[in-house]
Amino acid sequence: MLNRVLIAFSLGFLGTVSASAQNIEARFSTEKANYLVREPLFVTLSISNKTGAPLWLEFQSPDMAKLLCDDFAVEVPGADQADDPWGCGIAGDCGRGLREVLPGKRTTLRQLVNQQFRLQQGAYSLHAQTTIVVRKQNLFDSPKVEQVNVSDTLRVNVQLGNESELESAFRPIVTELDNPDPTKRAEAAAAITELAPPFLEDILIELTKTNFAHSAIAALRKADTPKTRAALAQIAIGSDDSMLRIEAINNLGRTKDAAYPPHVH
């Protein structure tokens, strides 16, 4: 029975339908059909330029609450909302300009589903959609060449796994922290700090020394190990940045660890 379920999900994953228009071809996808609980899950939107000239793309997400932040919307019926509210997407997407796609080339955008939803063991249907406005110039008021509505349902299965399996799933994501592409680094940092696996406590501590410090401090609280709590206390007492000290104090207080004095809490 389980094999039949996995085969069905694999077929659903492989059968993703693209939206083809005169100037572009766009499709949603996931990297695979089967994930572990607490494994990062990205939805990818790929757009190909089918013309011989550069195109400029504007994305109009149907999610009005985050219209300026997200290039596309993802809904996961049956999944719980993430514990902490989150605003704009990875790497400061809010308010950015049009995206250029060179002739015959492709661009990709990714969204971390785990930032908005908590996926437990079970089967899920991810509904992704957006509207792409195609322009010939890097100007929002330039003439519209084409408007394409893209939507799809991506089926994934989430399974329980042991710590060793989860460590293996995170290994390529940790490697991306050294990627020269700032977007790839930001995506990796977002995945690691959002899910905050305790076995990556050393990585989380190192991230507090980068421009991902605020999310990394919250991740230390979520990982909630003796080492991450000690790191929070150290930041609360010794950081030169008053905002980081406040953030560390607030998060350490939420751990309710009685080992630290009241002035640190």
- Which CATH number fits the domain that encloses residue 211? 1.25.10.10
For residues 110 and 198, membership in a common domain is answered with: no
Q: How many domains are contained in the chain? A: 2
pLDDT value of residue 92: 41
Report the b/e string of 185-199 with b at 16+ CB within 10 A. Answer: bbbbbbbbbbbbbee
CB 209 within 8 A of CB 221: no
Mean pLDDT for the chain overall: 86
Q: What is the distance, to the nearest Å, from the Cα of residue 255 to the centroid of all Cα atoms in its chain?
A: 25
Of these ranges, 4-8, 48-52, 87-91, the one predicted with the greatest mean pLDDT is 48-52
Cα 120 to Cα 20, 38, 80, 123, 159: the distances in Å are 34, 8, 9, 9, 8
For residues 101 and 154, membership in a common domain is answered with: yes
Is the pLDDT at 5 greater than 50? The verdict is: no
Q: What pLDDT band is residue 94 in, cutting at 50, 70 and 90? A: low
For residues 216 and 111, membership in a common domain is answered with: no
For residues 133 and 243, membership in a common domain is answered with: no
For residues 144 and 49, membership in a common domain is answered with: yes
For residues 21 and 117, membership in a common domain is answered with: yes
pLDDT value of residue 134: 95
Specify if 230 maps to a domain: yes
Specify if 264 maps to a domain: no
| Residue 166 three-state SS | helix
Specify if 200 maps to a domain: yes
Specify if 265 maps to a domain: no
For residues 202 and 189, membership in a common domain is answered with: yes
For residues 113 and 234, membership in a common domain is answered with: no
CATH code, domain carrying 100: 2.60.40.10
DSSP code string of 22-91: SSEEEEEEES-SEEETT---EEEEEEEE-SSS-EEEEEE-S-GGGTTT-SSEEE-TTPEEPSS---S-TT
Q: What pLDDT band is residue 93 in, cutting at 50, 70 and 90? A: very low
Specify if 261 maps to a domain: no
Segment 143-152 mean pLDDT: 93
pLDDT value of residue 13: 40
Q: Render pLDDT for 103-144 as a digit per residue (tens, 0 to 9).
A: 999 999 999 999 999 999 999 999 999 999 999 999 988 899
For residues 248 and 185, membership in a common domain is answered with: yes
CB 123 within 8 A of CB 157: yes
Q: What pLDDT band is residue 255 in, cutting at 50, 70 and 90? A: confident
The residue from 119, 138, 159 where one domain ends is: 159
For residue 23, the enclosing domain spans 2-159
Residues 215, 67: Cα–Cα separation, whole Å: 22
For residues 38 and 128, membership in a common domain is answered with: yes
Specify if 81 maps to a domain: yes
For residues 39 and 125, membership in a common domain is answered with: yes
The residue from 137, 159, 181 where one domain ends is: 159
| Residue 258 three-state SS | coil
CB 53 within 8 A of CB 146: no
Q: What pLDDT band is residue 8 in, cutting at 50, 70 and 90? A: very low
The residue from 159, 187, 217 where one domain ends is: 159
Q: Render pLDDT for 178-212 as a digit per residue (tens, 0 to 9).
A: 999 999 999 999 999 999 999 999 999 999 999 99
For residues 138 and 12, membership in a common domain is answered with: yes
